Amino acid sequence: MPTLHPGQERVAFLIYPGFTALDMVGPHHMLNALRGEPVRLVAATMEPVTSDSGMTFMPHCDFQSCPGDLDVLCVPGGTQGTLAAMRHAATLEFLRDRGARAGVVSSVCTGSLILGAAGLLAGYRATSHWLTVEHLARFGAIPTQGRVVRDRNRVTGGGVTAGIDFGLTLLSELRDPAYAQATQLVAEYAPAPPFNTGTPETAPPELVARMRAMFAPFVAELDAIAPPAA
């Protein structure tokens, strides 16, 4: 049985209007098991932040009061909220500042696009949601398929639910595999989805096509924001 010992880690999740709640809540649950300093939610201001599903979160700190040296800095994704964050100068400056000193710079889903916009993924292998992973090349990153992709101190998770795997992966590295396994057991995380449609490779082609069509306006707006393809 692993010793459930506390630590000193400082973990912060960026939250912004329109982010996807599960991108943050899943890994937050796992990294909270570090029992270091309380896991922080950081936002541009101390005002409540509403996710894309209507859930509202209270930040623990703003960009000015967030600790300067973080062990883990994580950016969740979204759709329109992510595009807005990619255009938000204060958000990008905050990420550049804290990212330059953080032990691990990380993201879940399209959060990697925000890291890319901040210049934090140039030359690194990284992943994103399957709809947007190839756009990472526009920011100098090396698009890489995977639930969790690590390149040096950059750790990126794939779409939405991959954040849970990302959280457990970091937990095993910051503690040990037995510690992460105990956390997974307590969470009863044993995926057994009712449908085998969780990736473009396993979903029916017509379903993938419908989802691409649904998100075409988002991808088109992303194309307009991202630097031109090399």
* Cα(230)–Cα(223) distance, integer angstroms: 13
* Cα(156)–Cα(217) distance, integer angstroms: 24
- Strand bridging mode 56-57 / 49-50: antiparallel
Q: Which residues are catalytic?
A: 109
Q: Are 59 and 78 in contact (CB under 8 A)?
A: no
From residue 105, alpha-carbon distances to 8, 12, 114, 156, 213 in Å are 17, 10, 12, 8, 32
